[in-house]
Structure 1
Amino acid sequence: MSKKTSYLLGILLTIILGTILYYFFCCSQCCDKNSHTQKQKQEPLVETSKTKKATKNAFSITDENGDLKLETANNFNFKTSEFSILQPVSSNVEENILKLKGYLIKNSLKDLEITGLYKSEEQNNSAYPNLGLARANAVKNYLVLHGVPSNQIDTFGKLNDDIVPDEANTYYGPIKFTMQTLDASDTSALKALEKSCDSIRTNPLVLHFKTGQAAINLTAEQRQKIANISHCVDKLGVKVQVVGHTDNSGDANNNVVLGKQRADFAKGYLVKNGILEQNIETSSKGPHEPIADNATEDGRAKNRRTVITIN
């Protein structure tokens, strides 16, 4: 091999070796960089979970069989797991309530149905079977205090997991209104109501708790009784009778006072849960009407009771 050929071959090998080294030390880094840049560009294309917008139901009441049509963007609002109406209530809502009042007074066969909505994840801290019914009763009371006839209002509760609160845990308008026209010749609903109310008189709600107790734990059956009592008060105009009883331990006169304190505590609980104060009467029988033997602790515990019924 000549000297010139060897020289050319060396140049060729140098070029080949340089190309290989350039690929490994430069091109691979550039490719990685480009790949990384591509990934960065693609990342925004990946869908991310978006926060759902808060549900905002308008105050809307329309009578399909009449000339009533009320609507405003505002409504009754509630905090999560609460049944007390958030204040203040919009002036637009109050203006519509006055129109509703006049319409119902003028049309005695019209009936307003109020349905309170609630989510399954909410806690029911009310005395009612569900939080939606408690919210509906709170709105019903608000209407009644503004002059709307209570005997022309029915309340219901409905589970709705589609409603969404805002970031402050406020539900905007978890309330639906429906106007019904009653048939004057159909007395079946009234008879069913009277039967339900008679059942409460025969089998009243009986509570056992200590004076000063902060809360009352109710069974599902007891919650339904409170809902039925509230319905009887609204529709028939009856009064709630709350009577406190004690055992025969200690002074009889002091026990009468103790019984009244228990009755007043139960009254406060009912008022908090949507039965208007003016519809509740309290009294005490003290130790004078025992239902069990005061000679035993079990008997005395049964006698320390508060009975809630209707007149």
Structure 2
Amino acid sequence: MSKKTGYLLGILLTIILGTILYWYLCCKPCLEADKVAIDNTTNTEDVSVKTDQKTATINAFTVKDVNGDLDFQINDNLNFKTSSPLIIDSIASTVDEGASKLIAYYNSNPDKLLNIYGHYRSDEVNNSVFPNLGLARANAAKNYFVSKGMASKIINTYSTLDDDFNADTNGVMYGPLSYEVKTITAGDTSIADDIKNLGDAIKANPLILYFDTAQATINLSDDQKQKVSDMVRYTDKVDGALINVTGFTDNTGSRSTNIKLGQGRADFTKQYLIQNGIDSSKIQSFSKGPDLPIADNATEDGRAKNRRVEVTIN
């Protein structure tokens, strides 16, 4: 190898080594820094998304009598899933203890009423038998207190539209209920008068459900849901009052078969009401089969009207 050739190879090796050193010392750190910057930008966007998520509402079990000495707050409550009228089964022991305290107070103060307000959102789906999920939840809370020993006649149920009541990421609504203690004024007959008028209205205009052959579901209109709510309120307030569910059929087939068919429809309706939070002890079912038709069985339209269930009160 000539001296000139060796000199040129040395220059070439110097260039190659310089390029490699430049890559490791300059270019690679810059690229890694850019990657970190991109990752940080992505993380910032994720945080922004999480920040936009609404915080779940947590409503405590709070009851205060401004005209008495009942005043307590428990940092838990009866909870519900979004769009559900049923209490989640896992009720905290502290809530049970609060219920016992509340019931003891009412047993010692017969001039008190408990108003329960069920909260609901306008974007929830209401598949209950009540006009809205607020009333359905208040009714579920009422049933809970009754199961603990409180008389249903001293409980009133109401609803509150509350679009600021947020569920958690699992769809759980923590305590969509509020409670209010009311004192009955001596000599006030307005409550008894209202209940009597309500009973008269229900008896004059019962709930009637029509059944197709092999029907397996019930879909209530808003007007029908209001009738169910009125019946529940009436039976809560009047000792011995019951919801009567009576099944009817058209005159096709034997009477004995139709009696069984009518009973099946009545039992199906009764079970539907029970599954939607109506106290089973407040419902009784009967069958009249083809008896007492309300339309002419000689026509298909008349037979369709006779295949029905009537729901009313005694």
Which TM-score tier does this pair reach, normalised by the shorter chain? Answer: 0.7 to 0.9
Q: How does 1:235-246 map to 2 (within 5 A)?
A: 235-237=237-239, 238-246=241-249
- 1:286 Cα deviation (Å)? 0.5
- 1:106 Cα deviation (Å)? 1.6
CA distance in 1, matches of 2:298, 2:86: 44
CA distance in 1, matches of 2:274, 2:202: 19
- 1:125 Cα deviation (Å)? 0.7
Q: Which residue of 2 aligns with 1:264?
A: 267
CA distance in 2, matches of 1:114, 1:218: 24
Which has the higher mean CA deviation after the structures are superposed, 102-111 or 44-53?
44-53
8 Å Cα contact 1:245/1:306 also seen in 2: yes
8 Å Cα contact 1:263/1:284 also seen in 2: yes
CA distance in 2, matches of 1:171, 1:211: 39
Taking a change above 3 Å as real, the CA distance of residues 110 and 212 of structure 1, as seen in their structure-2 partners, is: farther
- 1:184 Cα deviation (Å)? 2.5
8 Å Cα contact 1:245/1:284 also seen in 2: yes
Q: In the alignment, does 2:297 pair up with 1:294?
A: yes
**Alignment partner of 1:127: what SS?**
coil
Q: Encode CA deviations 1:50-91: one digit per residue, 9 max, x unaligned.
A: 122211111111111111123211101111100110012111
**Alignment partner of 1:289: what SS?**
coil
8 Å Cα contact 1:211/1:265 also seen in 2: no
- Among 178, 194, 197, which residue is 1:195 paired with? 197
Q: How does 1:124-273 map to 2 (within 5 A)?
A: 124-210=126-212, 213-237=215-239, 238-273=241-276
Read off the aligned partner of 1:93 and give its amino acid letter.
Answer: V
Taking a change above 3 Å as real, the CA distance of residues 75 and 213 of structure 1, as seen in their structure-2 partners, is: farther
RMSD value, Cα: 2.3
8 Å Cα contact 1:212/1:265 also seen in 2: no
Q: Which residue of 1 aligns with 2:6?
A: none
Q: How does 1:5-154 map to 2 (within 5 A)?
A: 48-49=48-49, 50=51, 51-154=53-156
8 Å Cα contact 1:211/1:262 also seen in 2: no
Read off the aligned partner of 1:60 and give its amino acid letter.
Answer: T
CA distance in 1, matches of 2:270, 2:143: 16
CA distance in 2, matches of 1:157, 1:215: 26
Q: Any gaps of 5 or more consecutive residues in structure 2? A: 1-30
Read off the aligned partner of 1:254 and give its amino acid letter.
Answer: T
CA distance in 1, matches of 2:106, 2:164: 31
Read off the aligned partner of 1:289 and give its amino acid letter.
Answer: L
Q: Any gaps of 5 or more consecutive residues in structure 1? A: 1-32
Q: Sequence identity of aligned pairs in percent?
A: 46
CA distance in 1, matches of 2:179, 2:260: 44
**Pairs aligned (count):** 280
Q: Encode CA deviations 1:258-302: one digit per residue, 9 max, x unaligned.
A: 101101011011112222101111110010111111000011111
Which has the higher mean CA deviation after the structures are superposed, 105-114 or 224-233?
105-114
Could you tell me the TM-score, scaled by structure 1's length?
A: 0.84
Taking a change above 3 Å as real, the CA distance of residues 157 and 215 of structure 1, as seen in their structure-2 partners, is: farther
Q: In the alignment, does 2:277 pair up with 1:274?
A: yes
- 1:45 Cα deviation (Å)? 8.6
Q: Which residue of 2 aligns with 1:22?
A: none
- 1:171 Cα deviation (Å)? 0.5
8 Å Cα contact 2:86/2:277 also seen in 1: no
Read off the aligned partner of 1:68 and give its amino acid letter.
Answer: L
CA distance in 1, matches of 2:97, 2:83: 28
CA distance in 1, matches of 2:212, 2:72: 47
8 Å Cα contact 1:211/1:261 also seen in 2: no
CA distance in 2, matches of 1:145, 1:212: 35
- 1:185 Cα deviation (Å)? 1.6
Read off the aligned partner of 1:225 and give its amino acid letter.
Answer: K
8 Å Cα contact 1:101/1:148 also seen in 2: yes
Could you tell me the TM-score, scaled by structure 2's length?
A: 0.83
CA distance in 1, matches of 2:245, 2:74: 40
CA distance in 2, matches of 1:153, 1:110: 9
CA distance in 2, matches of 1:187, 1:242: 30
- 1:212 Cα deviation (Å)? 5.5
**Alignment partner of 2:85: what SS?**
coil
- 1:48 Cα deviation (Å)? 2.9
- 1:215 Cα deviation (Å)? 2.6
8 Å Cα contact 1:77/1:86 also seen in 2: yes
